[in-house]
């Protein structure tokens, strides 16, 4: 690993984000069977339990700091959660929603790191069976008639009512005066928004259940391609043509989610049959999944000024009311930075990829020199921490992983 003040800090302290009590951080008293990494260093932030998509972006830092065993245990915990409740929850002991499905990427990168499936064939088969079960969750419980999937929730009426009463939801969408059924609908939409890993955002116009999202379907396309790659030795070719499914999904993404007018992939409002008016990096990240044509990729790259500012890449374009939501302009979220950088690099837009990576590294370096910490999110305009909704906690997990990925790309 290269030596800079930030990389030296990651090397020296990442073990403090590894939970060795095998518990879910004490959250709701639930335990996990294996060691796991948490987003925050214990005692330095509120998120010291096990999260889904955070963990994917942390894995790279675990490999770079010789914690491959914990990276494996993170995957084992996810397989246990799938076996226990049929999907991976947003975080440990949460039963009413999942998060963006990154487990396939975690499995693929783990086996690349150890030398391929033959290096541990028993664990590989267990991973593939877990991936297939999770895939069935997203393509059955979250299936839209178009054939694409969309975010939702698995909660009860009680969950919907409780989420509607959440102070952040009530502030964004006052609902205390509404009849119970309407309040539950508010809660259901916002639970789906939380499953979409963006609580909360202007992308869905407060109606997340009415939208089909690019990032989710791009990730599921990767599941189908990975299954196709390994179907024959696993004996899966007898009942499913995974390549055909991947191409069909790609075609549907092209048909529904591409806006020729804007030159971007956008969330699709399947109730009103139109695209969301708010562009987000979740559409840009389809570059990382190999979905756009070369011509579309060039138009997406040309549209980066919608998101890019002096100190980084904002989650959405600037739009009315965006500054009241944390998953919106001008907040810079490390996971979407990396997915954008990876996608641009994949399509050959290396100058743009390196420019964005340099901004992320420079902002992280500067804040670390001032505070000695890494942070959950920053501000693309100011280069400071982004404080919408709450003060961002010191964040070891995904910030460390994305920093190291960007650093290695640049060097």
Mean pLDDT per 10-residue run, the chain (411 residues)? 89 90 48 92 87 97 96 97 95 91 98 97 98 98 97 97 94 94 97 97 98 98 96 80 95 98 98 98 98 98 98 98 96 98 98 98 98 97 92 91 97 91
DSSP string, 25-82: TTGGG-B-SS-EE-SS-TTSSS--S-BSHHHHHHHHHHHHTT-HHHHHHHHHHHHHHH
In a domain? residue 378: yes
Domain of 79, CATH number, reads 1.50.10.10
In a domain? residue 207: no
Question: Do 70 and 103 contact (CB within 8 A), yes or no?
Answer: no
C-alpha torsion 227→233→239→240, nearest 10:
20
Q: Which two tokens stand for residue 206?
A: 């407060």
Tally the domains of the chain: 1
Res 29: pLDDT: 39
Q: Which domain holds residue 302?
A: 5-147+212-266+280-314+330-410
In a domain? residue 136: yes
Helix 103-114 vs helix 68-85: crossing angle, to nearest 10: 140
The half-sphere exposure of 272 on its side-chain side, counting CA atoms within 13 A, is 13
In a domain? residue 159: no
Smallest CA-to-CA distance from 111 within 156, 63, 148, 151 is with 63
Distance, CA of 403 to CA of 411 (rounded, Å): 12
Q: Which residue has the tokens 């009680």?
A: 158
Distance, CA of 343 to CA of 215 (rounded, Å): 12
Question: Do 301 and 228 contact (CB within 8 A), yes or no?
Answer: no
pTM for the model stands at 0.96
In a domain? residue 173: no
Helix 334-346 vs helix 53-64: crossing angle, to nearest 10: 70
Res 26: pLDDT: 45
Q: Which two tokens stand for residue 347?
A: 């399509």
Res 28: pLDDT: 41
Question: Do 203 and 316 contact (CB within 8 A), yes or no?
Answer: yes
Res 337: pLDDT: 98
Res 174: pLDDT: 95
Res 5: pLDDT: 96
- Round to the nearest angstrom and report the end-to-end CA distance of the chain: 11
Pairing between strand 274-275 and 268-269?
Answer: antiparallel
């Amino acid at each position: 690993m290269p030596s800079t003040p930030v990389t030296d800090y990651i090397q020296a302290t990442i073990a403090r984000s590894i939970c060795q009590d095998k518990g879910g951080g004490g959250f709701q008293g639930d335990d996990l069977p294996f060691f796991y990494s948490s987003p925050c260093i214990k005692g330095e932030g509120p998120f010291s339990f096990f999260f889904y998509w955070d963990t994917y972006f942390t894995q790279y830092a675990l490999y770079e700091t010789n914690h491959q065993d914990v990276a494996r245990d993170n995957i084992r915990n996810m397989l246990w959660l799938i076996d226990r409740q049929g999907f991976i929850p947003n975080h440990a002991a949460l039963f009413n929603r999942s998060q963006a499905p990154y487990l396939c990427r975690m499995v693929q990168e783990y086996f690349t790191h150890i030398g391929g499936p033959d290096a541990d064939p028993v664990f590989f088969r267990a991973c593939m069976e877990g991936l297939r079960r999770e895939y069935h969750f997203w393509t059955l419980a979250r299936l839209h008639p178009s054939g694409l999937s969309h975010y939702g929730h698995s909660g009860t009426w009680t969950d919907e009512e409780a989420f509607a009463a959440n102070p952040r939801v009530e502030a964004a969408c006052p609902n205390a005066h509404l009849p119970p059924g309407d309040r539950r609908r508010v809660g259901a939409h916002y639970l789906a928004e939380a499953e979409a890993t963006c609580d909360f955002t202007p992308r869905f116009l407060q109606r997340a259940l009415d939208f089909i999202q690019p990032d989710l379907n791009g990730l599921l396309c990767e599941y189908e391609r990975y299954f196709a790659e390994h179907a024959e030795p696993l004996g899966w070719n007898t009942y499913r043509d995974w390549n055909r499914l991947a191409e069909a999904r790609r075609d549907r993404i092209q048909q529904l989610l591409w806006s020729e007018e804007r030159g971007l992939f956008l969330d699709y409002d399947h109730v009103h049959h139109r695209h969301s008016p708010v562009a987000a990096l979740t559409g840009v990240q389809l570059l990382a999944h190999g979905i756009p044509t070369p011509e579309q990729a060039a138009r997406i790259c040309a549209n980066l000024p919608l998101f890019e500012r002096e100190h980084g890449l904002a989650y959405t374009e600037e739009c009315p009311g965006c500054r009241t939501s944390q998953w919106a302009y001008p907040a810079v979220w490390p996971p979407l930075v990396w997915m954008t950088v990876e996608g641009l690099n994949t399509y050959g837009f290396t100058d743009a990829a390196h420019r964005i990576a340099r901004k992320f590294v420079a902002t992280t370096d500067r804040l670390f020199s001032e505070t000695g910490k890494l942070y959950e999110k920053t501000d693309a305009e100011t280069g400071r921490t982004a404080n919408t909704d709450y003060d961002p906690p010191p964040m070891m997990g995904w910030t460390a992983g994305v920093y190291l990925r960007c650093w290695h790309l640049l060097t």
